[in-house]
Amino acid sequence: MSTYSRPQILPWLHVFLQPMKVRFIALTVAFSERMRQVASTVMRCCPTLFQQRKIETPRQNQKQYGAGLIHWVSGKLHWATSDHKDNALFRSVLSQLVEPNGEQPIRKKYVVVDNYRIHFAKPMQAFLEAHQDEIELVCLPTYSPKLNPVERFWRHVRRKVTHNHFFQTMEQLMDAVSSFFRDMAASPDLIRNVAGLAA
């Protein structure tokens, strides 16, 4: 697989996106493409040779999934979370882009996505057809996550929220993620800087 250094990525995207007036860059499943948010991790210690100290952990790992969009120009963040990694999650984020009827002239939004299958599920096709004047998906080449700047944002989320942190419950983890998203949403310039979109 080809590799792309950061200086090469944004000029390529600029050429690819500008003629199409692309407004949003997206990742289907938030916290990196397939990141699983796990409430706890089994930890093993070896205080003495051939002995292990047992640490209590939940018997079942719980998972939450997310999807997000970042506005290419303004840095505005849209996100949603769900118990399931499916097209309903992605539709819930895209729905945030739909303009309320009669409030202002409709402007079409172009959303850059990867080739993950939920982007092309039948319910997604029906959604896009119903909002064809407002939303259109633009697919990146296959196996090219480095061409999507939003990947850098998800890495930032992991570093700040989930890396080297232990959460007793899934609720605590999701509270931390949601709080971080709200803080970031209030700082669109920081989002653009983290994602490498700043001029």
Question: 3-state secondary structure string, 5-66?
Answer: CHHHHHHHHHHHHHHHCCCEEEECCCCCCCCCCCCCCCCCECCCCCCCECCCCCCCCCCCEE
Q: For residues 104 and 150, give the distance between their C-alpha atoms in angstroms, rounded to a whole number.
A: 28
Q: How far is CA 46 from CA 37, 62, 150, 197, in A?
A: 27, 27, 40, 45
Whether this model's pTM surpasses 0.85: no
What is the distance in angstroms between the CA of the first residue and the CA of the last residue of the chain?
Answer: 28
Side chain identity, residue 35: M
Q: If DSSP codes are grouped into helix, strand and coil, which group holds residue 115?
A: coil
Q: What is the Cα Rg of the chain in Å?
A: 19
Query: Tens of pLDDT along the chain (199 residues)?
Result: 444 444 444 444 444 444 444 555 555 333 333 333 333 333 344 445 456 666 556 566 778 888 899 998 899 999 999 999 899 999 999 999 987 765 567 788 999 998 889 999 999 999 999 999 999 999 999 888 788 888 889 899 999 998 888 788 888 989 999 999 999 999 999 999 998 887 6
Q: How far is CA 148 from CA 91, 93, 114, in A?
A: 19, 17, 8
pLDDT score of 32? 33
Side chain identity, residue 157: V
Domains in the chain: boundaries:
6-37+57-194
Q: For residues 74 and 63, give the distance between their C-alpha atoms in angstroms, rounded to a whole number.
A: 31
Give, in words, the CATH class of 6-37+57-194.
Answer: alpha beta
